[in-house]
Structure 1
Amino acid sequence: MSGLRALPEMFMRFAPAAAALSLMLAVTASVTNADDRQAAPRAAQLIAEGDAALKAGDAQTAIDAFEAALVVDPAHTPVFLKLAEAARLEGLQGKAIRYYRETLDRDPDNFAAIAGEGLALVEKGALEKAKRNLTKLESLCGSGCRETQDLKLSIASGSQTRMAAETTAKESSPTPN
């Protein structure tokens, strides 16, 4: 019976240490979730193969390598950016947008993902949505950062292309009498 009486006293004695330990674990989990870590060795090798294929213009081989790297190390967020880039080169803007959004789910202020999604949106013709990405980039990194400048240029050229296409369509359509 005396052992049962000692239990509340024991909990009181270890409660501060348990609270400190749980706080430390929570902070450690959030820091490691930021994914500043290196990819697993096999995943890193596959990412390098994908980068080489992408540089050679072989987007499908790059996608295969990046997807394999993702299977090996699903927690390595940067591979989603590489998958998105390869998908854009293949003309799969919808798939690229999905990869950029996965990156943003994991790292909401990732400049490359915000800009990349905006570029893919421009390529799909969704200029208003791309402009929202531009606004977000400007608020996060300013108008001078490379990502902001690239997206701004793409939106401007996308707007000009769209206006030229609309003008051509109007000129080639028959006029009612």
Structure 2
Amino acid sequence: MRTLPIAICLGLVAATMASSGGTQVPDAQISPRSLQWQKAGEQALANGNLQAADDALETALVLDPRNRGAFIALARVAQRQKLYGQAIRLTGKALALEPNDAVALGVQGEAMVEAGATARAQQNLAKVRALCGNKPCAPATSLAAAIQRGPSLAAKADSSPKKN
């Protein structure tokens, strides 16, 4: 009689453990709805509609917070809005999911250049080149060009001392 409650509890624990694993999605599989919102956000960004792009990409991340592409696209929106610190943070979140993402490293490096952190951007460039190997790749090419160009004129004007 005393063992019956213990047996029932163990049976319930075993039943719930077996059923919890059946609903989990593998990390490599991103929600299709999240990918649809990501594509809509990227299209809005390409059309120059930053608010719609921001909204769609935020929705993509709500649907699936493991969507690295949405983080990277959202970082590009932040760059267009001249919010370089936010772009660096967003690409950092993408890199937390996959540290060897050459695109995220490149976008982060470009934001670092605009923020004035050229030395850190050069470290990102070295990582991107190592990931690409001997092959030329777009993230390395665009980051090298950004480092060569330096911060934009708008960023230089914002950082210059104000005269009263």
* TM-score normalised per structure 2: 0.71
Matched, 1:53 2:44: yes
Partner of 2:138: 146
Within 5 Å, give how 1:1-177 maps onto structure 2.
Answer: 32-33=26-27, 35=28, 37=29, 39-142=30-133, 144-158=136-150
Q: Determine what percentage of the aligned residue pairs are the same residue.
A: 35
Tell me which residue corresponds to 1:5.
none
The structure whose Rg is larger is 1
Q: Contact 2:45/2:53 (CA < 8 Å) preserved in 1?
A: yes
The gaps in structure 2 that reach 5 residues or longer are 1-20
Are the counterparts in 2 of residues 101 and 117 from structure 1 also a CA contact under 8 Å? yes
Residues of 2 paired with 1:142 and 1:41: CA distance?
A: 31
Return the TM-score normalized by structure 1.
Answer: 0.66
Q: SS where residue 98 of structure 1 aligns?
A: helix
Q: Quick one: which amino acid aligns to residue 147 of structure 1?
A: P
* Alignment coverage as a number of residue pairs: 131
Task: Identify the structure with the greater helix proportion.
Answer: 1
Deviation at 1:50, TM superposition (A): 1.0
CA distance in 2, matches of 1:146, 1:75: 24
For residues 16-72 of structure 1, the C-alpha deviation after alignment (integer angstroms, 9 at most, x for no partner) is xxxxxxxxx9xxx9xx43x3x3x4233233223212211110112201110011111
User: Which residue does 1:3 correspond to in 2?
Assistant: none
Query: How much is the aligned-residue C-alpha RMSD, in angstroms?
Result: 2.4
Contact 2:105 2:124 survives alignment (8 Å) = yes
- In 1, are the aligned partners of 2:38 and 2:69 still within 8 Å (CA)? no
Q: Structure 1 unaligned segments of length 5 or more: list them.
A: 1-24, 170-177
| Inter-partner Cα distance in structure 2 for 1:146 and 1:42 | 28
- In the alignment, the residues of structure 1 paired with residue 116 and residue 41 of structure 2 have an alpha-carbon distance, to the nearest angstrom, of 28
